[in-house]
A and B are shown apart, each in its own frame.
Chain A
Amino acid sequence: MEKYSVIGKRLPRLDSVAKVTGDAKYAGDFFLPGMLHGKILRSTVPHAKILNIDTSRAEKLPGVRAVATGKDISDIPHGFIRAAPAPFFLRDKFSLAKEKVRFIGDEIAAVAAVDEDTAMEALDLIKVDYEELPAYFSPQESMALDAVRIHDHAESNVSVVISFHLGNIEQGFAESDFVFEDNYSTQYILASYIEPHAAVADFSQSGNVTLWLSTQTPFYDRTNIAETLGIPESKVRVIKPPVGGGFGAKTETHTLFTASAVLSRKAGRPVKIIYSREEEFTSTAHRHGVTVNHKIGVKKDGTIKAVDSKFFADGGAYNSHSAISMFIMGTLQNGPYNMGSFKYEGIRVYTNKPFAGGVRGHGAIQPRFVIETMMDSISEKLDIDPIEIRKMNAVKAGQTTISKFKIRSCGHTEALDKAVEEIGWKDKWRKLPDGKGVGLASMFFASGAAFSFFYDNPPSFSGVKINAETDGNFTLFTGTSDIGQGSETTLAQIAAEELGVGLNKISVIASDTATTPLDMGSYSSRVTVFGGGAAKIAAYNMKMKLFDIAADMLEANKDDLEAKNERIYVKGTPEKSVSIADTVIGYYNKMKEHLTSSGDYNPPADVGGEMRLDLGEVNISPTFSFGTHATEVDVDKETGEVKVQKIAAAHDCGFAINPMAVEGQIEGSIQMTFGQALLEDYRMEKGWSITNSFIDYKMATSEDMPYIKPIIVESIDSEGPFGAKEASEGTNVATIPSIANAIYDAVGIRMKDLPITPEKILRALEKKEGGK
């Protein structure tokens, strides 16, 4: 008999029928009676003091109902990190500018009018007087000693510095037989969800505001909106309807969320704001572009002894996740290999560009490109098989790393073996004709951040409540945010398995700050372990309450009961059973109260703790995923074009609650990293974005994508629900270096600057041929 009846199954998402029929209502699909349309006035200069904003002509335009500026919001800025001690408390963004603008696209004013055309016309009537300041478009310019400060609170244009030293690298390098040093760079890319940001705000006469937002973090938004409006949090209700993708950028409380509420309060009518695609490109959070200097010391047998890593990140105009981004770029280098000793300095610099925040694979993508490419160089130089060097240095289950990560389960070796087998490594590596090659790269990732970045005293990291209904159905309330990854279905599967009922017996009510328990949101690949963990506990607690009643009804011992097939049985005596529906009725009759349960997930005691991002010795997550991508490419030496034929992507997700969903995460996440490797590049000219649409910004289409073979590895984790770990961000971290390494196998050039364009390939080939 199969061990499980609901989990481990390829079940369709709960919301799939709504999504194939057009029934699913996203934030932009809400039309409320009397609703106005809001638009945002954005800066047309990259850096300036605002001398005056004259909104009088806009206010007089017929059809305009409200105009808002920085004067209409409180003096509390926002940013992703709210609960950290100094110097990591770095909130620096106002929804509407106060005194200064810092990039082209920075928000200055907002208008609500009876229709979009009128709102657009009103924007043209707002007159802003600027005193322009020198603007900086690269960290180098911005860090010049005589540079004007972009933010007054910072002593220079350095936004944040995170540095730590684990072990003793002086000794590590002294013990190394070889030291490899190299420089790398990566570009700004965009999250590029298909649904642009949308907000509908309805501020009532009683002083309450309800918002429907396309967000990953409704509870954070609630706080930011309350603080921006200067009203109690209890007056703000944020509802997250279906969201059309987020990929990290929707963890920001972007201006439309607060501005729609401010405008609705002023106008006394509901206000909708939807960002145009151009606004998405110019004014929402991007992935950090970085330049890197990296040094690795190794013994001649391949053992890594020391790593010295310096990251320079272009942060754009505001902090956003800043300290976390820079922390992760360092700390997530401590796996899947033991680094011996490790030193890191991450410097994030303000520039007059759209700000950088968290994007899928946050902080892991950039260092992984560097490390895995260097691992390839090292293995070649030392004449050690690239598979072997990745195995011999690997962390192991049960081990604690120098960064204090406790490795509870580790499918690194299995993922590596399966990925290379799938690509046919033995017959292909160094054996394919010139222009064809295979490459591999391994990775690991956190299953959720074990810090409360935002709240000082949250009730828990994730809470779930379950109501029992008399027809044997259950309603599960969760604050987690399904942004497309399918987490509502995952949580429902977990609860159904625990309760012994089918998936169709679970309804999910999610992400409504007024009705669902607090959850921190969808980021850091946290939902399966944290939200799923809470769902499992809540379902178990419900089951125990049912067992108390059923034990009486069946005249049995509670410990002898089991729940399956929608009934409660006495183990080993199948004829003694009672339906769950009848047990619920029995509960009501006996207890005279509603039957509810709750569950809260908090990381175990050996995880998290004080958020000292400067120490680097802290277990950031309950558990870690592992994986390897093996990739085959063709490189056209005439045109420089790289054609990726296949990516074998093995991912250790602990246990696949829904294998179809895990495959979907692997396949989909690679669309982004395949794009970052070869196609996607957010480009600017003097602070103006020149990639403002999907026509200029090249994202992979169905015709561009290589064949992806997802391979699920299950290491059955001791902490995650039913052994599950993350499968959403880690799934794409190895793609870029696996492509770069395959290019090296194909034509013998090391690509160290992203994206890898045909021009760069041809230049590198010329250099290589010229050197001969």
Chain B
Amino acid sequence: MKQLVELKVNGESYETAIDPHRTLLEVLRENIGMTGSKEGCDLGACGACTVVIDGKAVLACLTLALEARGKEITTIEGLAKDGKLHPLQQNFVDHGAIQCGFCTPGVIMSAKALLDENPKPTQVEIKRGISGNLCRCTGYTKIVEAIEVTAK
């Protein structure tokens, strides 16, 4: 039995009818049409689906869409403002922190939650902050560098 749910994503409200077992990731991608958040494992082990809910980095594949009602959800699509990239996004571009790009949205959202809570993290804190986001392309070096530069 489908249920009507209202989600607030990147400052805008979306109303959609879903089966209660649908995850936030599925609803973002399939119902709302935001495919920036990626599904890499559907098990909470890779971090590609990371979004920010009420300031915290959350795995959208382990979150039921119904649980996210009434909360502020920020996805990768919500970071750039007025055609200008968020400093994290700009530094990922400039420092070559992107290769295949599939982990990138999740990594950036984890980094955003980290910097919002701790604007001057140490390198160790940065590495811990994104340790739930697997990347097979970069060895994390340039990702950590891009986050460090953003925090400076």
| A residues in contact (CB < 8 Å) with B | 10, 12-13, 15-26, 28-29, 31, 191-196, 242-245, 247, 274, 276-277, 483-486, 660-661, 663-664, 667-672, 693-695, 699, 701-703, 705, 708
Question: How far is A13 from B140 in the complex, measured between Cα atoms in Å?
Answer: 17
Give the distance to chain B from A320, nearest Cβ to Cβ, in Å: 20
Using known A-B contacts A16-B93, A194-B38, A664-B99, determine if residue A671 contacts B139 with beta carbons closer than 8 Å: yes
Lowest 8 A-B CB distances belong to which pairs?
A22-B36, A484-B100, A244-B102, A19-B101, A667-B139, A694-B45, A29-B35, A22-B76
Question: How far is A21 from B76 in the complex, measured between Cα atoms in Å?
Answer: 6
Is B144's CB within 8 Å of the partner chain A? Answer: yes
Interface centre among A13, A16, A661 (most CB of B within 10 A): A16
Contact check, B77 vs A22: say whether CB atoms are below 8 A apart.
Answer: yes
Using known A-B contacts A20-B85, A667-B141, determine if residue A194 contacts B130 with beta carbons closer than 8 Å: no
Question: How far is A695 from B77 in the complex, measured between Cα atoms in Å?
Answer: 28
Give the distance to chain B from A715, nearest Cβ to Cβ, in Å: 23
* Chain A residue at minimal CB-CB distance from B41: A277
Contact check, A703 vs B141: say whether CB atoms are below 8 A apart.
Answer: no
B contact residues around A699 at 8 Å (CB):
134, 136
Question: How far is A330 from B39 in the complex, measured between Cα atoms in Å?
Answer: 39
Contact check, B141 vs A708: say whether CB atoms are below 8 A apart.
Answer: yes
Give the distance to chain A from B35, nearest Cβ to Cβ, in Å: 4
| A194 interface neighbour in B75, B76, B103, B139, Cβ under 8 Å | B103
A contact residues around B137 at 8 Å (CB):
245, 484, 664, 668
* 22 cross-chain CB contacts under 8 A: A13-B93, A13-B98, A16-B92, A18-B101, A19-B101, A20-B108, A21-B85, A22-B36, A22-B37, A193-B136, A194-B46, A194-B48, A196-B39, A245-B100, A274-B39, A277-B40, A277-B46, A486-B99, A668-B136, A668-B139, A702-B133, A702-B135
| B residues in contact (CB < 8 Å) with A | 29-30, 33-43, 45-46, 48, 75-77, 79-80, 85, 89, 92-96, 98-105, 108, 126-128, 130-144
A contact residues around B130 at 8 Å (CB):
702
A contact residues around B108 at 8 Å (CB):
20
Question: How far is A513 from B86 in the complex, measured between Cα atoms in Å?
Answer: 36
* Chain B residue at minimal CB-CB distance from A243: B100
Contact check, A701 vs B100: say whether CB atoms are below 8 A apart.
Answer: no
Question: How far is A195 from B137 in the complex, measured between Cα atoms in Å?
Answer: 11
Known: A194-B40, A247-B136. 11 other contacts (CB 8 A): A10-B96, A12-B96, A13-B96, A17-B85, A19-B104, A20-B92, A20-B108, A244-B100, A664-B138, A694-B45, A702-B126
Give the distance to chain B from A490, nearest Cβ to Cβ, in Å: 13
Contact check, B139 vs A242: say whether CB atoms are below 8 A apart.
Answer: no
Give the distance to chain A from B126, nearest Cβ to Cβ, in Å: 8
Contact check, A245 vs B92: say whether CB atoms are below 8 A apart.
Answer: no
Contact check, A702 vs B100: say whether CB atoms are below 8 A apart.
Answer: no
* Chain B residue at minimal CB-CB distance from A277: B41
| A484 interface neighbour in B101, B143, B144, Cβ under 8 Å | B101
Give the distance to chain B from A387, nearest Cβ to Cβ, in Å: 26
Contact check, A19 vs B98: say whether CB atoms are below 8 A apart.
Answer: yes
Question: How far is A189 from B47 in the complex, measured between Cα atoms in Å?
Answer: 21
Question: How far is A671 from B134 in the complex, measured between Cα atoms in Å?
Answer: 11
Interface residues of A, dominant DSSP: loop
| A672 interface neighbour in B98, B100, B136, Cβ under 8 Å | B136
Using known A-B contacts A194-B100, A194-B103, A694-B41, determine if residue A245 contacts B46 with beta carbons closer than 8 Å: no
* Chain B residue at minimal CB-CB distance from A18: B101
Using known A-B contacts A277-B40, A277-B42, determine if residue A668 contacts B138 with beta carbons closer than 8 Å: yes
B contact residues around A195 at 8 Å (CB):
38, 40, 100, 102
Give the distance to chain A from B1, nearest Cβ to Cβ, in Å: 14
A contact residues around B100 at 8 Å (CB):
193-195, 242-245, 483-484
| A693 interface neighbour in B43, B79, B131, Cβ under 8 Å | B43
Give the distance to chain B from A504, nearest Cβ to Cβ, in Å: 14
Contact check, A17 vs B93: say whether CB atoms are below 8 A apart.
Answer: yes
Contact check, A701 vs B43: say whether CB atoms are below 8 A apart.
Answer: no
B contact residues around A10 at 8 Å (CB):
96
A contact residues around B35 at 8 Å (CB):
22, 25-26, 28-29
Contact check, A701 vs B141: say whether CB atoms are below 8 A apart.
Answer: no
Contact check, B96 vs A661: say whether CB atoms are below 8 A apart.
Answer: yes
Question: How far is A601 from B89 in the complex, measured between Cα atoms in Å?
Answer: 36
Question: How far is A195 from B131 in the complex, measured between Cα atoms in Å?
Answer: 18
A contact residues around B96 at 8 Å (CB):
10, 12-13, 660-661, 663-664
Give the distance to chain A from B26, nearest Cβ to Cβ, in Å: 9
A contact residues around B143 at 8 Å (CB):
702
A contact residues around B126 at 8 Å (CB):
702
Interface centre among A10, A194, A670 (most CB of B within 10 A): A194
Give the distance to chain A from B103, nearest Cβ to Cβ, in Å: 5
A contact residues around B103 at 8 Å (CB):
194, 244
* Chain B residue at minimal CB-CB distance from A116: B26
Contact check, B99 vs A695: say whether CB atoms are below 8 A apart.
Answer: no
A contact residues around B93 at 8 Å (CB):
12-13, 16-17, 20
* Chain B residue at minimal CB-CB distance from A193: B136
A contact residues around B134 at 8 Å (CB):
194, 694, 699, 701
Question: How far is A669 from B36 in the complex, measured between Cα atoms in Å?
Answer: 25
